[in-house]
């Protein structure tokens, strides 16, 4: 069905190029093609909605939180490790260096757009940073992967050979995944923190402020605060306890000086710093490991290539990584079991409309400027239209589903789910228009 629609699009485009009267048909075919990926997202989200409904009750709130934690801790790292490690080489790092730079520039420019919009709209307290984040962080992973897969499925796709189209598109997208993981675990995680000593629920319902200091004995849930455990101060005792334990271990090691203890002291200090800055996270570790193994030919041939002695490890990661997209979409759909009404009510119509307009219209315009300027400077490989298409797609995606998962962990999941709901609805139309524009620019 999907392959047939892509074939129809390609034939219509070819007829239009020959000067026939099929220009309107080509536009309709491209519109139909552009809607398909978003339709897939809605289908999976609807399944999550059904699973979380009262009649089924499989994905209750605690179940969705555990599913989000599973995605961040296992499925996403496996996907990044397998796809990035298999595609990366030293030559490709030198050739593709602008892909992660484009993601960083996109996040910075979109966040600046979000800041301007938030200053103009003035969202209700405490959703100022929330507004900036949901404008600034786009979906650079699952939806572009679905788009590329649908486009390259047919032999007559506009980018040439089907296998090469799929391989190049997935490799380009995978090469930028690690940057997105770092942004999510640092910038987004910090920006979505509730006000000190409060949760988003307590701010909205004007409840009594939560105690700033948490009990000495804390559960592991505090590392991923929810709406019931959502204040950032809960993390401080964990860090202080860990630091005290590590300082005690260092004192014990220093009491019996040895070469091993002297080597481990700076290593433990670095680990402590990375943990404090939220940089020692599974997706980031997987990204560093994939790049390290991928650029060393011996290690890559040992683990990552087909037929390698330890390829079963990579193949297992591929299997787990394929589950990341449906799991995160199921969780997002489950968050909408009560409808987008409650989250939309807290944000207000003006803030919701501003986020949608800025993310789907203003941010892609800024992205076209960034990519066009980079092309003039020679940062984009000449003649590689798929490379440029991927760069443009990274700026025109709706708000990242992963930011919604982080918001669910931070206690503002309902508000984020409402934004994701409305953004993805209007993205059906905006993405169709942007894809038509990009294909016109490239061909």
Give the pLDDT band (50/70/90) at residue 351: very high
Q: Quote the pLDDT of residue 269.
A: 63
Q: Quote the pLDDT of residue 203.
A: 60
Residue 254 predicted with pLDDT over 60: no
| Cα dihedral value 258, 262, 265, 270, nearest 10 | -150
At 316, which CATH number?
Answer: 1.20.1530.20
- Higher pLDDT residue, 160 or 127? 127
- Higher pLDDT residue, 183 or 110? 110
Q: Is the pTM of this model over 0.75?
A: no
- Higher pLDDT residue, 47 or 195? 47
Give the pLDDT band (50/70/90) at residue 215: very low
Residue 270 predicted with pLDDT over 70: no
Q: Is residue 157 part of a domain?
A: yes
The backbone torsions φ and ψ at residue 18, rounded to the nearest 5 degrees and listed phi first, read: -80, 0
Query: On the CB side of 255, how many CA atoms lie within 13 Å of its CA?
Result: 6
- Higher pLDDT residue, 232 or 257? 257
Specify the DSSP element, H or E, that contains 256.
none
Q: Is residue 429 part of a domain?
A: yes
Most confident of the following: 269-278, 300-309, 398-407: 300-309
Please state, in angstroms and rounded to a whole number, the distance separating the CA atoms of residues 275 and 86.
28
Q: Is residue 49 part of a domain?
A: yes
Q: Is residue 272 part of a domain?
A: no
Give the pLDDT band (50/70/90) at residue 392: very high
Give the pLDDT band (50/70/90) at residue 134: very high
Quickly tell me which residue has 């290690």 as its tokens. 299
The percentage of the chain sitting over the pLDDT mark of 90, rounded to a whole number, equals 16
Residue 409 predicted with pLDDT over 50: yes
* CA 432, chain centre distance (Å): 21
- Higher pLDDT residue, 180 or 252? 180
Q: Quote the pLDDT of residue 407.
A: 81
Q: Classify residue 59 as left (phi > 0), alpha (psi -120 to 50) or beta.
A: beta
Q: Is residue 377 part of a domain?
A: yes
Domain of residue 186 covers 30-207+281-442
Q: Quote the pLDDT of residue 31.
A: 62
Q: Quote the pLDDT of residue 27.
A: 58
Yes or no: say if 388 and 380 are a contact pair by the CB < 8 Å rule: yes
Residue 349 predicted with pLDDT over 80: yes
Q: Quote the pLDDT of residue 412.
A: 80
Question: Which SS3 state, helix, strand or coil, does residue 212 take?
Answer: coil
Give the pLDDT band (50/70/90) at residue 362: very high
Q: Is residue 20 part of a domain?
A: no
Mean pLDDT of 271-289: 69
Q: Is residue 19 part of a domain?
A: no
Cβ-count burial 155-184 (b if 16+ within 10 Å, e if not)? eebbbeebeebbebbbbbbbbbbbbbbbbb
Please state, in angstroms and rounded to a whole number, the distance separating the CA atoms of residues 107 and 123.
20
Yes or no: say if 13 and 158 are a contact pair by the CB < 8 Å rule: yes
Q: Quote the pLDDT of residue 173.
A: 83
Q: Quote the pLDDT of residue 30.
A: 61
Yes or no: say if 297 and 92 are a contact pair by the CB < 8 Å rule: no
Mean pLDDT of 92-99: 88
Distances in whole angstroms, Cα of residue 177 to Cα of each of 76, 158, 171, 353:
9, 25, 10, 28
Residue 363 predicted with pLDDT over 90: yes
Mean pLDDT of the chain: 75
Q: Quote the pLDDT of residue 353.
A: 93
What value, to the nearest 5°, has the Cα angle with vertex 321 and ends 432 and 391? 35
Domain count, the chain: 1
**Cβ neighbours of residue 53 closer than 8 Å, sequence gap 6 or more:** 337
Q: Is residue 199 part of a domain?
A: yes
Give the pLDDT band (50/70/90) at residue 360: very high
Give the pLDDT band (50/70/90) at residue 205: low
């Amino acid at each position: 069905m999907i392959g047939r629609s892509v074939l129809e699009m390609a034939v219509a485009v070819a007829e239009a190029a020959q000067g026939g009267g099929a220009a309107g048909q080509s536009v309709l075919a491209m519109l139909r093609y552009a809607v398909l990926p978003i339709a897939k997202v809605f289908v999976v989200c609807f399944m999550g909605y059904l699973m979380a409904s009262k009649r089924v009750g499989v994905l209750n709130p605690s179940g969705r939180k555990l599913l989000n934690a599973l995605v961040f801790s296992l499925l996403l790292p496996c996907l990044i490790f397998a796809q990035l490690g298999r595609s990366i080489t030293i030559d490709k790092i030198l050739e593709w260096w602008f892909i992660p730079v484009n993601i960083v520039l996109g996040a910075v420019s979109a966040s600046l757009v979000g800041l301007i919009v938030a200053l103009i709209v003035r969202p209700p307290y405490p959703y100022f940073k929330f507004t900036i984040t949901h404008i600034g962080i786009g979906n650079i992973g699952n939806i572009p992967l679905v788009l590329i897969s649908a486009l390259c499925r047919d032999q007559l796709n506009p980018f040439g050979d089907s296998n090469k189209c799929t391989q190049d598109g997935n490799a380009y997208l995978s090469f930028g995944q690690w940057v997105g993981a770092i942004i999510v675990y640092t910038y987004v995680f910090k920006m979505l923190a509730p006000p000190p000593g409060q949760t988003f629920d307590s701010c909205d319902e004007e409840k009594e402020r939560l105690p700033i200091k948490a009990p000495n004995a804390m559960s592991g849930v505090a590392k991923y605060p929810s709406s019931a455990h959502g204040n950032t101060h809960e993390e401080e005792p964990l860090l202080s306890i860990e630091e005290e334990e590590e300082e005690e271990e260092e004192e014990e090691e220093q009491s019996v000086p040895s070469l091993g203890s002297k080597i481990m002291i700076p290593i433990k200090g670095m680990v402590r710093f990375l943990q404090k800055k939220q940089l020692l996270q599974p997706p980031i570790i997987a990204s560093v490991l994939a790049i390290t193994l991928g650029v060393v030919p011996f290690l890559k041939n040992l683990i990552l290539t087909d037929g390698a002695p330890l390829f079963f490890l990579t193949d297992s990661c591929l299997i787990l990584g394929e589950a990341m997209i449906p799991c995160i979409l199921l969780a997002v759909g489950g968050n909408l079991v009560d409808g987008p009404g409650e989250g939309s009510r807290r944000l207000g119509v003006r803030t919701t409309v501003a986020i949608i307009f800025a993310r789907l219209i203003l941010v892609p315009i800024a992205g076209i400027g960034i990519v066009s300027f980079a092309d003039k400077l020679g940062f984009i490989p000449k003649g590689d239209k798929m490379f440029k298409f991927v760069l443009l797609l990274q700026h025109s995606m709706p708000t990242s589903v992963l930011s919604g998962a982080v918001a669910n962990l931070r206690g503002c999941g309902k508000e984020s789910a409402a934004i994701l709901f409305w953004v993805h609805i209007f993205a059906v139309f905006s993405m169709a228009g942007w894809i038509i524009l990009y294909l016109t620019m490239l061909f």
